[in-house]
Amino acid sequence: MRSPARSTAGRRIRCGLFALAVLASSLGGAKAGAVDVPALVTVTTFDGSFVVRVSDPVLLAQIEGVVAGTLPQMGVIGDWVTGNGGYNRDADGTPWSWHLAESSVFLSEGALEICDGLPSTIEARVNLGSSFRRYCPWSGILGNVRADDSLPADIDVDGAVGPSDLARLEQCIDLDQPVCFDLADGCCAADIDSDEQIDCDDDALLVAGWTASGSAPGATVCAAQPIPALTAGRWLLVASLLSIGLVVRRSQRASFGEPRRAEIRSRIRRRWRGPSGR
């Protein structure tokens, strides 16, 4: 990621560092706490914020060091995937349609300009179906490290999995449109398993993660579909096997059964009449 200081990329990296330093001084030093992994960390940019989930204790210690000011300012870098993971939202609570894949997240003192941007930049990329996944917000400042209390199926990131999440999934689910990019803006937030489809796999996760009172109803299209289709398919298979069995048996009778019966009748006649009976 780093480049020689005299190169253009090097100047761009210094610009990124400068932005970090200015915003850090304007926000003041945040206090680091002893939080266990997994933890949630808020990254605040010039315009909007997002949340990163951290399961690596070494990375979390680094982040806490940066937040406390005992380590030099560093920015977060990672690769986005669809779905908000049940935790990624803006400061005003609006859920994003993406989150950074945990295994891809690291800190760096500099980053290339190509992956810079605001959280809304990434939101636009998700909805455009961009294949460029790297995100390294130059203005991103780490802060608010806390224990992870998120729920993976919490599509609207309100702290519970319930009717509002189901309503969102029902609105976005489309079994004929496998890629969530093709759906209305914001629907990629409903991709609970981050496979870029809004389908019955996501519904199964929502049902499994249901925290509201009562049993989870699940999406109508998924509740109606799988079992009858499977039963009908099984009956068709049984009927096909029976038909094949009948055809084979008839053909065996035709080719082998009749000569065998004729031979037995001939033997009986010979035994009854004796060897000279013919």
Rounded Cα distance, 278 and 276, in Å = 6
3-state secondary structure of 82: strand
Sign of CA dihedral 121, 123, 126, 132: positive
Residue with smaller CB distance to Ca ion, 148 or 191:
191
Residue with smaller CB distance to Ca ion, 175 or 236:
175
Residue with smaller CB distance to Ca ion, 107 or 192:
192
Residue with smaller CB distance to Ca ion, 87 or 135:
87
156 is a site residue for Ca ion (CB under 5 A): yes
165 is a site residue for Ca ion (CB under 5 A): yes
Min dist. Cβ of residue 201 to Ca ion (A): 4
Pick from 110, 191, 206, 216 the residue near Ca ion by CB under 5 A: 191
Min dist. Cβ of residue 86 to Ca ion (A): 8
The H or E element that residue 202 is part of is: helix 200-208
Residue with smaller CB distance to Ca ion, 35 or 205:
205
Cβ distance 105 to 78 under 8 Å?
yes
Pick from 42, 88, 127, 197 the residue near Ca ion by CB under 5 A: 197
Residue with smaller CB distance to Ca ion, 138 or 210:
210
Spatial neighbors of 203 by CB under 8 A, at least 6 apart, are 169, 173, 218, 219, 222
**Closest CB to Ca ion belongs to which residue?**
201
Min dist. Cβ of residue 168 to Ca ion (A): 8
158 is a site residue for Ca ion (CB under 5 A): yes
**Residue for token digits 């000011």?**
69
If binding means CB under 5 A, how many residues of this protein chain bind Ca ion? 12
Pick from 37, 201, 209, 221 the residue near Ca ion by CB under 5 A: 201
CA–CA distance from 269 to each of 30, 256, 257, 260, 262 (Å)?
109, 21, 19, 14, 11
User: Buried (b) or exposed (e) across 69-101, using 16+ Cβ within 10 A?
Assistant: eebebbbbbbebbbbbbbbbbbeeeebbbbbbe
* Chain mean position to CA 104: 15
Which residues contact Ca ion (rule: CB under 5 A)?
Answer: 154, 156, 158, 160, 165, 191, 193, 195, 197, 199, 201-202
